[in-house]
């Protein structure tokens, strides 16, 4: 049941996103569209509550419970950014908005972009780690927590990979070609996290 609920939450995420953007741009009701988009976190609350009830009812923790924690973590870390990116793309593609800001390609600007990206992924993994640890404590020492611990190891790997990628762009920045203009090098606005 938990795995189906994770899938349902993912589908509902995209349905709510489409509905919110349709209300915002097609129906010209931006406040109502924003209200629909603000319902997105309720999906994670439902998933968290159902997972906790399932564990409390005596279910053995398995990969599905870990997946639920990871899904919630990744929605917390990456959901807002995803919504902003899709919103900018829809506004540009169909409603005459400015083109979405492309990530910079070179130098310090690219390194900063990669650290922002890494921060989002690390936040997602940290939230998942916290939820997995809470589930381990919730189950207690008598339960089989090996699958939850294996999810924790995977989240540690996600953090490590993102640190390596961002660190690589910092230590070995790609230099812009000499004939590139400032627009080709690109800059990402400072408020984008």
Domain boundary assignment for the chain: 1-174
Q: What one-character-per-residue DSSP string does 59-92 give?
A: PPP-HHHHHHHHHHHHHHHHHHHHHHHHHHHHHH
How far from 168 is each of 116, 123, 164, 171, CA to CA, in Å?
Answer: 14, 19, 6, 5
Band of pLDDT at residue 140, cut at 50, 70 and 90: confident
Helix axes 2-21, 30-37, angle to 10 degrees: 170
Please report the pLDDT score of residue 136 as a whole number: 93
Query: Would you state the pLDDT for residue 182?
Result: 56
Average pLDDT, the chain: 92
Look at 186 and 136; give whichever has higher pLDDT: 136
| Poorest-pLDDT segment among 18-27, 51-60, 166-175 | 51-60
The Cα–Cα gap between 37 and 130 comes to 25
State pLDDT tens for residues 70-100: 999 999 999 999 999 999 999 999 999 999 9
Q: Does residue 106 register a pLDDT over 80?
A: yes
The first and second tokens of residue 27, run together, are: 């129906």
The whole-number pLDDT of residue 183 equals 53
């Amino acid at each position: 049941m938990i795995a189906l609920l994770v899938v349902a939450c993912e589908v509902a995420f995209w349905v709510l996103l489409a509905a919110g953007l349709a209300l915002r741009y097609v129906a010209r009701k931006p406040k109502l569209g924003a209200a629909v988009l603000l319902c997105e976190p309720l999906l994670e609350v439902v998933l968290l509550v159902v997972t906790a009830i399932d564990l409390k009812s005596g279910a053995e923790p398995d990969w599905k419970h870990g997946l639920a924690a990871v899904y919630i973590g990744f929605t917390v870390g990456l959901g807002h950014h995803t919504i902003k990116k899709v919103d900018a793309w829809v506004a540009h593609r169909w409603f005459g908005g400015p083109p979405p800001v492309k990530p910079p390609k070179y130098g310090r600007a690219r390194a900063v972009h990669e650290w922002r990206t890494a921060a989002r992924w690390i936040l997602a993994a940290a939230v998942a780690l916290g939820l997995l640890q809470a589930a381990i404590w919730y189950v207690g020492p008598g339960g089989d927590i090996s699958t939850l611990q294996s999810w924790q190891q995977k989240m540690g790997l996600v953090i490590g990979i993102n640190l390596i990628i961002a660190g690589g762009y910092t230590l070995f920045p790609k230099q812009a070609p000499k004939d590139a203009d400032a627009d080709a090098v690109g800059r990402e606005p400072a408020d984008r996290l």
